């Protein structure tokens, strides 16, 4: 069952590991933040993520940096004890991420119909997809 939906615009700042994320919730709330993600090991499961929530002045300044942009609609689904974020990309592709919280990853639930496990494929991360699009853009004002 889908419990929430958000529209997300990610801007991956060129030459850095930084991401500017703007989240639009269904109730009209907009959240803007600066993120930094680092893999702690070779696998997909251990990632250190730091988020800084930005005000409009900070957002306007940082979003003027050149970046690769990725837009998606995120659906949060809960079923059978699992929480899954399903990202619907502009090209129509769907990518699901299982949220195990702090627990050891349990694997793909039987109810989630998957074509391929992309957990270890960096090309399917948000940064990888944005880079592949090759549309470096300054901020939209």
Q: 33: domain CATH number?
A: 2.40.320
In the predicted structure, residue 100 carries a pLDDT above the cut 50: yes
Asked if 129 and 106 touch (Cβ cutoff 8 Å), the reply is no
In the predicted structure, residue 141 carries a pLDDT above the cut 50: no
| Gap between the Cα atoms of 25 and 69, Å rounded | 19
Q: Is 39 helix (H, G, I), strand (E, B) or coil?
A: strand
Please indicate, yes or no, if residue 92 is contained in any of the structural domains: yes
Residue 139: band (very low, low, confident or very high) from pLDDT cuts 50, 70, 90: very low
| Gap between the Cα atoms of 46 and 76, Å rounded | 21
Please indicate, yes or no, if residue 76 is contained in any of the structural domains: yes
Please indicate, yes or no, if residue 25 is contained in any of the structural domains: yes
In Å, how far from its chain's centre is CA 26?
Answer: 17
Domain count, the chain: 1
Q: Quick one: which of 1, 3, 8, 28 has its CA closest to 87?
A: 8
| Neighbour-count burial of 133, counting CB atoms closer than 10 A to its CB (0-12 exposed, 13-18 middle, 19+ buried) | middle
Please indicate, yes or no, if residue 97 is contained in any of the structural domains: yes
Q: What percent of the chain has pLDDT over 70?
A: 69
Please indicate, yes or no, if residue 29 is contained in any of the structural domains: yes
In which domain, by residue range, is 32 found? 2-132
In the predicted structure, residue 130 carries a pLDDT above the cut 80: no
Which helix (H) or strand (E) segment holds residue 73: the answer is strand 67-79
Please indicate, yes or no, if residue 140 is contained in any of the structural domains: no
pLDDT greater at residue 37 or residue 115 = 37
Output the pTM of the full model: 0.77
pLDDT greater at residue 37 or residue 108 = 37
Please indicate, yes or no, if residue 138 is contained in any of the structural domains: no
Q: Quick one: which of 34, 30, 36, 24 has its CA closest to 58?
A: 34
Please indicate, yes or no, if residue 141 is contained in any of the structural domains: no
């Amino acid at each position: 069952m889908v419990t929430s939906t958000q529209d997300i615009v990610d801007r991956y700042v060129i030459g850095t590991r930084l991401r500017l994320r703007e989240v639009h919730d269904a109730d009209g709330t907009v959240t803007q933040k600066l993120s930094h993600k680092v893999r702690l090991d070779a696998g997909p499961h251990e990632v250190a993520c730091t988020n800084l929530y930005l005000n409009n002045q900070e957002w306007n300044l940082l979003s003027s940096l050149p970046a690769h942009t990725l837009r998606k609609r995120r659906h949060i689904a809960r079923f059978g004890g699992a929480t899954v974020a399903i990202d619907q990309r502009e090209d129509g592709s769907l990518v699901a991420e299982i949220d195990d919280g702090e627990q050891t990853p349990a694997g793909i639930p039987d109810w989630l119909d998957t074509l391929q496990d992309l957990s270890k494929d960096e090309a399917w991360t948000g940064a990888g997809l944005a880079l592949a699009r090759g549309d470096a853009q300054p901020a939209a004002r």
